Amino acid sequence: MKKAKWTLIYRFLFIVLLLICHQVLNMEEALASSSIDQVNSLQAIIDQLDAGDAIELPPGTYAGPATINKKVYIRGNSEVTLLNPSGAPAISILSDGVHLANIQIKNNASGDQSPAILVKSHQVTLEDLTIQTSGYGIILRDADQAILQNNTITWFKPETNKPKQKGNGIDLYNSNGTLIKNNRITGVRDAIYLEKSRNARIQGNKLSRTRYGIHCMYIDGSSVIDNEGQYNITGAMVMGVKNVVVSGNVFRRQSQNVHSQGILLYDVQSSSINKNVVEGNRVGIYMEQSSENELSNNAVLRNFIGIQLINSNSNQFHGNEFIANVIEAEAADSQKNEMIGNYWDSFQGLDLNHDGTSEIPYAINPFYQLLVTQTPAYQLFFQSPGMTFLSDMFTNGQEGWSIDSSPLMNADFSQRVSTESAKGSADVLAIGLLLLCIAIYTIIFLGVMRE
């Protein structure tokens, strides 16, 4: 009887709990609907402005979409949020000289890849924006002389979508003279995508967990400077360009895909690639069908393949350092490349006149690459004694090999070690010492207990 009584009590309490939960959910829906009703219309505010006006939005939540078709300056603050669940862009800018700053934009149109901001006008400035998007971040079409700086662009749920299902963070087409500076972009398809957009300057951006951190196609006369990328499939993909500068960038840990590279250069002509750090990637620098370029003073560290050349001729390589790569270099069908004064840490040269360079040249032997290209199964014998012996014996077509005629005997490694790597080494050392102290203490404590 007592058991049956308690069973009835438990069932009653369970029913009461269900009723309470149902009531709470109804209240939340009511509050949500009432808060939506209280959202301000950004379009209504824009319609009241005259050309040339500047306005600072009061703190609050605003509703999109909105179209700006007059030259205005609209500024928010950390408490201004624009919500846009529609399939249209959250903000469409159709007038020259618009300035938009310091607004949080949540562009959450389910199943749609519309942008948070669409720009179809010139001399537009977008700065200090925080964008969460389920489509694209910022799209520029036929929009010259734009400034995009200090913006943060993220995907709503990075772990739930494949790259091809996402939009790009910043996407330019036929938009020249653009400055893209100091933006933080993560989780989208390509962080920065430029096509047919010349004389752009991409500087100081931090890009992570995308397909291509920077994806450039036909951007002659542009520069990619001082950017940082990590955990992308490829750090920077530069294709079909002339007279481009890629300098001072750091690309680390692009290694989780079979096609991962730090810097990928395809059909690049008459360009300068210098002072970059590519570290811990599957391929540090990949170069194909590219000629008349200068690669200088790059640090190629701890990659599986340091540099890989495919059908790339008449390039200049000097002052680069290849350190702790599993395979330092591979080259196939790449001739007339001038290599002078690079450092190869696995090469043991001979410096008879003590000038810091070896009298013995360093040759990039294509044997292994040719062998595994024809028979991929031979990768199982990578760095085996037999493979090394056969590679040393292979001399066929040696006149066409890429050869460093004066390799450096020493590298200024202290100038090349990244601060992140140094910090990581310090952390490992600290953890190791801590574990050692714990082990010593445990041994002493157990010894005392036994006595």
What is the widest separation between alpha-carbon atoms in the chain? Answer: 104
Report whether pLDDT(414) > 80.
no
What is the DSSP secondary-structure string of 200-247? Answer: -EEES-EEESSSEEEEEES-TT-EEES-EEESSSEEEEEEEEES-EEE
What SS3 state is found at 272?
strand
**Residue that has been written with the tokens 């955990």 in this structure:** 231
Do the strands 403-404 and 362-363 form a parallel or antiparallel pair, or are they unpaired? antiparallel
Do the strands 294-296 and 66-68 form a parallel or antiparallel pair, or are they unpaired? unpaired
User: Running DSSP on this structure, what letter comes out for residue 357?
Assistant: B
CB 366 within 8 A of CB 331: yes
Q: Which of 81-90, 137-146, 175-184, 239-248 has the lowest mean pLDDT?
A: 81-90
In this structure, what are the phi and psi dihedrals at residue 371, rounded to the nearest 5 degrees? Answer: -65, -50
**pTM exceeds 0.85 for this model:** no
Provide the mean pLDDT of the chain.
Answer: 82
User: What pLDDT was estimated at residue 37?
Assistant: 44
Report whether pLDDT(435) > 60.
no
User: What pLDDT was estimated at residue 256?
Assistant: 79
Instruction: Report CA Rg, the chain.
Output: 29
| pLDDT grade for 425, boundaries at 50, 70 and 90 | very low
Report whether pLDDT(428) > 50.
no
User: What pLDDT was estimated at residue 429?
Assistant: 45
Pairwise CA distance, residues 213 & 386, whole Å? 39
What SS3 state is found at 324?
coil
Do the strands 321-323 and 299-301 form a parallel or antiparallel pair, or are they unpaired? parallel
Pairwise CA distance, residues 138 & 46, whole Å? 20
- CATH number, span 38-210: 2.160.20.10
| pLDDT grade for 419, boundaries at 50, 70 and 90 | very low
- Give domain limits for the chain: 38-210
- Which helix (H) or strand (E) element contains residue 446? helix 419-450
User: What pLDDT was estimated at residue 401?
Assistant: 63
Q: Which of 10-14, 42-46, 86-90, 244-248 has the lowest mean pLDDT?
A: 10-14
Report whether pLDDT(356) > 60.
yes
Q: Write the pLDDT tens digit of every residue in 262-320.
A: 999 999 999 999 999 999 999 999 999 999 999 999 999 999 999 999 999 999 999 99
Q: Report which of residues 332 and 324 the model is more confident about.
A: 324
Q: Write the pLDDT tens digit of every residue in 206-235.
A: 999 999 999 999 999 999 999 999 999 999
User: What pLDDT was estimated at residue 376?
Assistant: 62
User: What pLDDT was estimated at residue 363?
Assistant: 74
Pairwise CA distance, residues 341 & 9, whole Å? 86
CB 246 within 8 A of CB 275: no
CB 364 within 8 A of CB 403: yes
CB 83 within 8 A of CB 109: no
